[in-house]
Structure 1
Amino acid sequence: MTNVGVVGLGNMGRGMAASLLRRDFRVVGYDASAASAQRAAEAGVELVDSLAEVAAQCDILVLSLPNPQIVEAVINGADGLSKHMRSGTLILDTSTSDPQVSRRLAAQLKEVGVRFVDAPVSGGPSGAQNGALTFFIGGDEEDVSRATPVLDAMAKNRFHIGASGAGNVAKIVNNLLCASHLVIAAEAFKLAESAGVPVGDLLESINAGSGRSGVTMYNFPSRILNGAFNSGFTMQLMRKDVRLAMSLVKSQGLELPIVQDMADVWQASESVIPDGDDFNRIVQFSAAEAQE
């Protein structure tokens, strides 16, 4: 039995831990939130009280954390993983993070014999729970190969994009497209309804035509038109991912005016759509309301 540590036991980390347990991995978990840790324990995860204990018991560590700042703190904080990991440990970071942070951590850890693979995911909490995630992977071929049994326990699809950081570039681009498609689809459907054609009457034909996207094929029928708004992915998380995209744009010295306009919409929505709301709520955003 391979011992796998999972650091971060929120909706995503807890689901990934459950998928690993079904494949007969021993899963040792840690989360700073007692409530998140308890829910994971009820699913069969063996809890420990510190990052040091996770590092002591496991040679493969899966990180599922909210942002690159927390990834950095978990690894390099005062009592972070870097103080306790043995040479040969492999970190599989499934957080959506900054590619530059991933590259820097990979280089730093390599010097002490610890390997780092960035492997952010798409598929939401249901995909994590059901072992049906899509992984965007960046790292050395040898390290990715070593991580394959763990990845396969959690994945429906996995793509090794390239060297360290490439996984996060791919995930940022993926979420940038999703964020953009939601905004433009919402406006396009407002146009249709203003012209007398309800979205429900329009959607099937759009999804058979060239205007379709994942947003029109899945989000609208499954999360939006039925009023569910229950993807498990929040406005706060998508706003963070859009900010990561804009940071990447800046780092590349690019001017992408349409991307900037879309990012401005997500930023402006902060004043009227709470962070904890489902990210699909962006389709209800009104610039006029935000300016009031």
Structure 2
Amino acid sequence: MTPNNSSSTRLGIIGFGQVGQAMAKVLTRSHSVTIFDLRTDQCRAHPLVENGDVTLASSSAALVDASDIVILCLPTPEASHAVAAHISGAMRPGLIVMETSTVTPQDVAALDAVLSPGGARVVDTAVIGGIHALSSGQAVFLVGAAQDDSDPISAVLKQLAAEVFYLNRQGGGMRAKLVANAVSHGVYVVLSEAIAVATAQDIPMSVIYRLLARESGLSRPLTHRIGERLFNGNFAGGMSTANARKDSKLFLETAHELKVPVFAIQAAHSVYEIAACEGMAADDYAIVATLWEKWIGRTLRAEEVSP
């Protein structure tokens, strides 16, 4: 089967795991795609390779020679550094290297230091969303560059993404992804603690799930406390910090009585204790975020927020 190549931009994907495969599935619809992965036998057996939808390169350097944009889809920062060392000699002016692996901003800078002397441009292009979203062209991308609709990166991302955020500087995409992932991972621990305490009291999971799924549940701390109150500096009225502290304390006492260990919620409670000592007890508890304004010396207010 021959790809329907409506674009003259040649794409290369290094790393043909689940992410690389999902990207290739979408991109072969309008691009010539070459892949490379150390697991060559597995690659040869993949339907995209067997059907001729993608070309399997003999080496990472050979892939670079056959590509205008190289997409890194690797499992660890160490793997990205290793690949960069292998392909550095094949760099040329105009080549774009998109780092979609999850790495740090410092890793992106290190990749740039290795690859840009040969004329390549390194752009961090972090992915948010699961494999299903990516394979259906509905992922979210965080790009460490300014937006330019004529840029070949933008053309590629339009196929893969439901939404693209441009962070205007190298490393910005990875910075934003690490923050977003930290929220997801942290919230999951809080949820695990909460449903454990609910289970210990025989509260139906269907009830807890629906309560938290409502806008007044998990969404409200973001949309109301941050979007409507913190960003506007509006801390009058609402649920006071004193009441939030009281409710948090009652939950912790309940968990202790039930012998259910909690960690994240215990840590969060300490912030309400600090806020109370800082004279914030009467204000809406959205004000606790301003503690970080004091600690980092910068405002947390947004200049503009789109729903």
TM-score higher than 0.5 here? yes
Residues 186, 193 of structure 1: alpha-carbon distance in 2 compared, 3 angstrom cutoff: same
Query: In structure 2, what is the Cα distance between the partners aligned to 1:9 and 1:48?
Result: 12
Letter in 2 for 1:125: I
Deviation at 1:124, TM superposition (A): 1.6
Letter in 1 for 2:170: S
Residue identity over aligned pairs, in percent, reads 30
Gaps of 5+ in 1: 214-256, 263-292
Query: In structure 2, what is the Cα distance between the partners aligned to 1:131 and 1:33?
Result: 26
Deviations 1:60-80 (A, max 9, x none): 11110011111111011xxx1
Query: In structure 2, what is the Cα distance between the partners aligned to 1:50 and 1:112?
Result: 19
Is 1:32 the equivalent of 2:33?
no
By relative contact order (CA 8 Å, sep 6+), the higher-ranking structure is 1
Query: Equivalences for 1:174-185 in 2 at 5 Å?
Result: 174-185=180-191
TM-score (norm 2): 0.65
CA contact (8 A) 2:11 2:69 kept: yes
Partner of 1:4: 11
Letter in 1 for 2:18: N
Query: Equivalences for 1:7-18 in 2 at 5 Å?
Result: 7-18=14-25
Query: In structure 1, what is the Cα distance between the partners aligned to 2:16 and 2:161?
Result: 18
Partner of 2:112: 106
Deviations 1:35-79 (A, max 9, x none): 542324146211111011111111111110011111111011xxx
Gaps of 5+ in 2: 1-7, 220-262, 269-307
Calculate the aligned-residue CA RMSD, in Å: 2.5
Structure with larger Rg: 2
Partner of 1:53: 62
Deviation at 1:144, TM superposition (A): 8.8
Query: In structure 2, what is the Cα distance between the partners aligned to 1:48 and 1:32?
Result: 10
CA contact (8 A) 2:98 2:125 kept: yes
Query: Equivalences for 1:59-208 in 2 at 5 Å?
Result: 59-76=68-85, 80-139=86-145, 141=147, 145-208=151-214
Residues 182, 35 of structure 1: alpha-carbon distance in 2 compared, 3 angstrom cutoff: farther
Deviation at 1:108, TM superposition (A): 4.2
Deviation at 1:141, TM superposition (A): 4.8
Q: How many residues align?
A: 215
Residues 16, 36 of structure 1: alpha-carbon distance in 2 compared, 3 angstrom cutoff: farther
TM-score (norm 1): 0.68
